[in-house]
């Protein structure tokens, strides 16, 4: 058994074992990519590393639970994850204005976020909570929608929605943090560490519901924990660097002072139920 709503300081590979099987609704796994100079990022074979993680983490997911795995373009190459999880999307997180420019090849302008589900269908996909502005002009869209193939065809249910559109699988609307970002905890956390809250928010809101349990094995400075607290999700988080754990705890205390945001149905929910209760009855 492991406490929830705490960032545990230690090695994720060991701490994961203390998480009960099939107790987790969502995993957000933003660990080593195998590309930076950080000592924790020196892994020989990123694909082998990811396969082992997928295998271990899938055991912890409930049926219908989701897992997002961050990485570079090749992070799943030549590994067979299919016995464990179903890959639903490779989301491209597009960052056109990277400072580091390639000299001997093309500048890398994206990360991938692999979206997996345990089983055929996700328990949660809250599209209305993550809609983004429509790009087409309404008049044009309505004219297109009046043609018979749309009215009577398979796209009839995906008509113009005033609340916005599905964000799709290429996300260029969320920028990487820069030295000027208010959100940045310190300069050392830039690039390979801290992710924008908006990015994590999209994953949490889409793939979990109020009161669910989110596992973050590589918590960094606690962005997933912060977003979960703000949106009344429970979290179980691990981080090996005690300084980052300290920063994460300070950010959580700030959220505590702000108070939780109202959820989309307009009420605050009690998430203080015992972790054991959530994982019981499987």
Ligand X SMILES: C[S@@+](CC[C@H](N)C(=O)[O-])C[C@H]1O[C@@H](n2cnc3c(N)ncnc32)[C@H](O)[C@@H]1O
Examine residue 223 and tell whether it contacts ligand X (CB under 6 A): yes
Examine residue 81 and tell whether it contacts ligand X (CB under 6 A): no
Contact pattern for ligand X over residues 21 through 40, marking x by CB under 6 A: ---------xxx-------x
Which one among 68, 81, 218, 235 touches ligand X, defined by CB under 6 A? 218
Examine residue 195 and tell whether it contacts ligand X (CB under 6 A): yes
Tokens of 15: 């701490």
Examine residue 244 and tell whether it contacts ligand X (CB under 6 A): yes
Residues in the interface with ligand X (CB under 6 A) total 21
Examine residue 201 and tell whether it contacts ligand X (CB under 6 A): no
Residue with Cβ nearer ligand X (46 or 221): 221
Examine residue 12 and tell whether it contacts ligand X (CB under 6 A): yes
Min. distance of Cβ 45 from ligand X in angstroms?
15
Examine residue 122 and tell whether it contacts ligand X (CB under 6 A): no
Region from 19-27, 81-89, 141-149, 191-199 binding ligand X, contact rule CB under 6 A: 191-199
Examine residue 112 and tell whether it contacts ligand X (CB under 6 A): no
Residues in touch with ligand X (CB under 6 A)? 11-13, 30-32, 40, 192-195, 218, 220-223, 238-241, 244
């Amino acid at each position: 058994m492991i406490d929830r709503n705490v960032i545990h300081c230690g090695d994720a590979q060991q701490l994961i074992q203390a998480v009960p099987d099939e107790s987790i609704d969502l995993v957000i796994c933003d660990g080593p990519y195998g590309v930076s100079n950080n000592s924790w990022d020196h892994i020989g074979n990123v694909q082998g590393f990811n396969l082992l993680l997928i295998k271990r983490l899938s055991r912890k997911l409930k049926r219908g639970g989701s897992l997002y795995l961050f990485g570079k373009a090749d992070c799943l190459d030549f590994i067979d994850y299919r016995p464990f999880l179903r890959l639903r999307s490779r989301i491209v997180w597009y960052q056109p204005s990277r400072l580091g420019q390639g000299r001997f090849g093309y500048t890398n302008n994206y990360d991938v976020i692999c979206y997996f589900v345990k089983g055929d269908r996700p328990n949660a996909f809250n599209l209305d909570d993550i809609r983004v502005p429509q790009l087409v002009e309404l008049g044009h869209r309505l004219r297109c929608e009046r043609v018979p193939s749309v009215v009577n065809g398979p796209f009839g249910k995906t008509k113009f929605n005033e609340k916005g559109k599905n964000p799709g699988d290429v996300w260029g609307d969320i920028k990487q943090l820069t030295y000027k970002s208010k959100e940045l905890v310190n300069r050392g956390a830039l690039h390979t560490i801290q992710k924008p809250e908006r990015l994590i928010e999209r994953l949490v809101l889409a793939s979990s519901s109020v009161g669910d349990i989110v596992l973050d094995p590589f918590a960094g400075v606690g962005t997933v924990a912060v977003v979960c607290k703000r949106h009344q999700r429970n979290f179980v988080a691990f981080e090996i660097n005690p300084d980052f754990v300290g920063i994460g705890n300070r950010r959580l205390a700030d959220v505590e002072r702000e108070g939780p945001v109202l959820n989309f149905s307009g009420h605050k929910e009690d998430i203080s139920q015992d972790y054991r209760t959530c994982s019981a009855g499987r």
